Amino acid sequence: MVEVEVDYASGLPGMVIVGLPDISVQESRERVQSAIKNSGFDYPRRRLRVNLAPAAVRKEGPSFDLPIAVGVLVCSEQLAATILQDCLVIGELSLDGSVRHVRGVLPMAAFARDQGFKRILVPKPDAAEAALIPELEIIPVENLAELAAYLSGAQKITPQPPTQITFTEPWVQTDFHEIKGQEHVKRALEVAAAGGHNVLMIGPPGAGKTLLARALPAILPTMSIEESLDVTRIYSVSDLLPPEVPLIRSRPFRAPHHTISHAGLVGGGNWPHPGEISLAHHGVLFLDELPEFGKHVLEVLRQPLEDKVVTISRARGSLTFPANFQMVAAMNPCPCGYFGDTLKACTCSSSTITNYQKRISGPLLDRIDIHIQVPRVDYEKLSDERYGEVSENIRRRVEAARSIQRERFDQLEMNKRRMIYSNADMRASDLRQFCELDEAGKSLLRSAMQQMQLSARAYHRILKLARTIADLAGAGQITTIHLAEALQYRPQIFM
């Protein structure tokens, strides 16, 4: 919370802003001066001092324009504001006095409510976004003159009504019934959606890997209100929230290009902002042509994949952004793309193939639960007039499995349940409680551990995957059938 304090003293007319302001805050002096004059008020010919408290926290952005202007009017006795005690004021000023959109209004409104504020004055374009927060009176402000009249009691502004949250069907970019063949890949994606597991698809060019990945959001469960608010906060801070969409109701699907930088993927900058992995929070992060990404860029994914958050540290401090995303990656088996293809011969040497596959480190591959081969689709399947199963039916099974998981995790204490949304989020202690095996299952997994040389992390991920497969089948106990399917999703060419 930043308090804007305005005072005046003798000296040459002008305004000094202190409290670690950045350039955009410093430039508010010119915007405030022009806005006050063009709104019909007199700009005081005094030495004005503006303090942004607490002084030890760096301030950025133009959202301080409006409170500074109100402070100048109150200080120069042109405005007697009697209702500012429980108000939070946010807004950027134009030179003509109109109030412009600012980013991050939703988390600001939520913070104001938590701090005990009763009323928040926001730009009119942002009022619907702020009205998502209950128990808070939202006053939409169009210009500085209107705000001054409201604060002095000369004019009333109708508060923004609460934004109605409607439950809509997820927007489907690609339906599963449009994809011919690849039934085993569709099954793997269904398992991934049911448990929130990460997926790597490997196959020749044109086999449908990108199409399958873009169809995944259609079978993901509908977002809850809490998840929607979490995603909307991130997009509001990043200034990516469409003006006509105050609340994001569909799960994000982010597909950055392989030329993306480290800061663009995980977040960063002089003053850190969310990256692609945070923009994919509660959604899908699709990495096409995985080996083409920079090695350093891929390695920074290891910690967010485990912790579901990303912490960015700078000399000024550190910020933590949520990053509970589902990673879906696609790659060719070799540079030419046809290693292992049944029709077209591979032109790469064995050393070239090995070097290409080694671009992805073993620790990163170990964090991917499902490795699935996507073969070439033959003519008979492509020319078949029959359609496959629609995404809506698959989503019903996924939501039924997620419902089983929610009931299961409700048994946990609140501090343990906070970050668990699906089976993929379970910790080692949860596995002991929810993933018990019978003797046949233990024997099968013991043999797999020895033959496939699995790590402890892979062992835990197989149990999570088997638990998801059992949930899809409606089984309370994990059996050898579920374990066998989970084991077949382990990597085969990376051995």
pLDDT at 175 over 90: no
pLDDT at 342: 84
pLDDT at 494 over 50: no
pLDDT at 383: 85
**Residue 172 — pLDDT band, cuts 50, 70, 90?**
low
Distance, in Å, from the CA atom of 398 to the CA atom of 354, rounded to the nearest integer, reads 37
% the chain with pLDDT above 70: 96
**Residue 156 — pLDDT band, cuts 50, 70, 90?**
very high
pLDDT at 147: 93
pLDDT at 495: 34
**Nearest by Cα to 148 from 51, 52, 61, 67:** 67
- Cα four-point dihedral sign 386, 390, 393, 399: positive
Average pLDDT over residues 353-380: 91
List the CATH code of the domain at 176-394.
3.40.50.300
How confident is the prediction for the chain on average, in pLDDT?
Answer: 89
pLDDT at 415: 43
pLDDT at 493 over 50: no
Q: Across the strands, what pairs with 322?
A: 309
Which are the contacts of 9, defined by CB distance < 8 A and separation ≥ 6? 46, 47, 49
Q: Across the strands, what pairs with 313?
A: 318
The kind and range of the H/E element at 51 are strand 47-53
> Other C-beta atoms within 10 Å of 168: how many?
8
Q: Structural domain boundaries of the chain?
A: 3-152, 176-394, 413-488
Place of tokens 């689709």: 377
**Residue 414 — pLDDT band, cuts 50, 70, 90?**
low
pLDDT at 121: 94
The amino acid present at 211, given as its one-letter code, is L
| 481 to 132, 261, 372, 432, 437: CA distances (angstroms) | 46, 42, 18, 20, 12
Q: Is 208 left (phi over 0), alpha (psi -120 to 50) or beta?
A: left
Q: Across the strands, what pairs with 47?
A: 9, 14
Quick: pLDDT tens for 183-203: 999 999 999 999 999 999 999
User: DSSP character for 308?
Assistant: S
pLDDT at 381: 86
Query: Looking at the chain, how many residues does it have?
Result: 495
Q: Across the strands, what pairs with 309?
A: 322
pLDDT at 83 over 80: no
**Multiple choice CATH, 413-488, 3.30.1330, 1.10.10, 1.10.8, 1.10.3470:** 1.10.8
> Other C-beta atoms within 10 Å of 288: how many?
18
Distance, in Å, from the CA atom of 277 to the CA atom of 273, rounded to the nearest integer, reads 11
The architecture (CATH level 2) of 3-152 comes to 2-Layer Sandwich (3.30)
Place of tokens 């797999």: 448
pLDDT at 65 over 90: yes
pLDDT at 272 over 90: no
Distance, in Å, from the CA atom of 268 to the CA atom of 213, rounded to the nearest integer, reads 27
In the three-class reduction of DSSP (H, G, I as helix; E, B as strand; rest coil), residue 50 is classed as strand
Which are the contacts of 365, defined by CB distance < 8 A and separation ≥ 6? 200, 371, 491, 494
Q: What is the DSSP string of 237-277?
A: HTT---TT-SS--S--EE---TT--HHHHHEETTTTEE-HH
CB 8 within 8 A of CB 44: yes
pLDDT at 71 over 90: yes
* Residue with more model confidence, 249 or 38: 38
Average pLDDT over residues 447-458: 88
CA angle at 71 for the pair 54 and 130, rounded to the nearest 5°: 75
% the chain with pLDDT above 90: 58
CB 106 within 8 A of CB 130: yes
Distance, in Å, from the CA atom of 43 to the CA atom of 40, rounded to the nearest integer, reads 10
Place of tokens 């006095």: 97
Distance, in Å, from the CA atom of 189 to the CA atom of 312, rounded to the nearest integer, reads 31
**Residue 221 — pLDDT band, cuts 50, 70, 90?**
very high
Rounded to two decimals, the pTM is 0.86
**Nearest by Cα to 207 from 344, 353, 327:** 344
Distance, in Å, from the CA atom of 204 to the CA atom of 196, rounded to the nearest integer, reads 26
**Residue 168 — pLDDT band, cuts 50, 70, 90?**
low
CA angle at 19 for the pair 16 and 23, rounded to the nearest 5°: 70
Number of C-alpha atoms within 13 angstroms, CB side, residue 100? 16
Quick: pLDDT tens for 325-362: 999 999 999 999 999 888 899 999 999 999 999 999 98
pLDDT at 207 over 50: yes
Distance, in Å, from the CA atom of 210 to the CA atom of 332, rounded to the nearest integer, reads 12
